[in-house]
Amino acid sequence: MRSLKNHISLIIPLFAILFTVEFYLLIDKIIKNYEKYLSKDYSIVVVAKEPLKLENLRQKIEDVIKLKEVDSSLVLGRLKQTGIDLDPDQLKSYLPRFYKLYLSSFPSTQRLQSLKEELLQIEGIQRVETFTKTHEKIYKFLIFLNNISKFFLAIILVTGLMLVFKQIEIWNLEHSERMYIMALFGAPFWMRIAVLLKLSIIDTLISTLLVYLIYLYLLNSNYLKELLGVEDLVAPRQIASDGLWLFGLGLFISIFTVIVVSLREPKNR
């Protein structure tokens, strides 16, 4: 029973550290994936007197990647329905040209605003209309989460490390007699701390698995997908590699602590 409590005392802070690190990494990944998704979810319509060329535009605004002319016959067709009878070909030459413009990444509201101004500077452009859709709010919320997760990461890292350190000190004390006797028979350092290393490796493995499973569950749950309105937030492959990475980080923390705590032992060994 006592040993179970001992394990939990190490598993909890390790879990907290790894959970927060993964939270941070995951939000980052979700944001990147989300940006890709959102990049198809805005529109910029440019009205110009003269034909526009992508190359010319790109000289002034680098992140434009595509320019698509909106067929004006659609507009004319609608005019016709209202009963106004005009010669379409003649009219076409009077009408301005409509273009849809695509950017390399999802623009923020500020970026859209500045883009609008830059576009209007260009000769021949008469009007610019921009629309972003509702997803912008969620996007902003993700960015917000990303920022506070940095803050939590810092706090949890500090308190978590302190708790890990404390727990390993307790273990060290519990096993100090055994380690002392081993030293009396000339056991090398690594052999004396082997028992502590074994315990901490087991607990790191448990913490990593817990974190991994919880995130796997969250990412597959419908709740998150519905909230963000996106299928496949993060590819499972991506968290699998995170799992390994987290295990490595956990091992580093616990092994490093074991070594530091054990080296601080009294000098008579």
Partner 1 sequence: MAKKVIVAKDLVLSYKKNVPIIKNSTFSITSGSFVFITGASGSGKSTLLRSFYGELRPRSGSLHVGGILLNDIKPSKLSFLRKYLGIIFQDYKLIKEWNVKKNVMLPLLIAGYSKDVCEAQTKRLLKHVRLEGKEEYYPVELSGGEQQRVAMARALAHNPVIILADEPTGNLDDYSSRVIWGLLEGANEQLGSTVVVVTHSIPKDLNVPYRHLHIENGVVYEIS
Q: Which stretch binds partner 1 (CB under 8 A): 23-31, 43-51, 87-95, 185-193?
A: 185-193
Find the shortest distance in angstroms from Cβ 3 to partner 1.
Answer: 11
Determine which residue in the list 186, 222, 223, 231 makes contact with partner 1, applying CB under 8 A.
186
| 198 in Cβ contact with 7 (< 8 Å) | no
Q: Which stretch binds partner 1 (CB under 8 A): 83-91, 209-217, 244-252, 261-269?
A: 261-269
Q: Token pair of 231, please?
A: 């299928």
Find the shortest distance in angstroms from Cβ 223 to partner 1.
Answer: 47
Find the shortest distance in angstroms from Cβ 265 to partner 1.
Answer: 10
Q: Token pair of 107, please?
A: 């623009």
Kindly state the number of chain residues that form the binding site for partner 1, as judged by CB under 8 A.
14
Secondary structure of residue 69 in the 3-state scheme: strand
Q: Token pair of 192, please?
A: 């004396």
Determine which residue in the list 51, 77, 188, 236 makes contact with partner 1, applying CB under 8 A.
188
Other C-beta atoms closer than 10 Å to the C-beta of 73 total 11
| 162 in Cβ contact with 17 (< 8 Å) | no
Based on the number of CB atoms within 10 Å of its own CB, is 190 exposed (0-12), middle (13-18) or buried (19 or more)? exposed
Based on the number of CB atoms within 10 Å of its own CB, is 74 exposed (0-12), middle (13-18) or buried (19 or more)? exposed
Window 165 to 184, contacts with partner 1 (CB under 8 A): 177-178, 181-184
By CB under 8 A, is residue 268 in contact with partner 1? yes
Chain contacts with partner 1 (rule: CB under 8 A): 177-178, 181-188, 191, 267-269
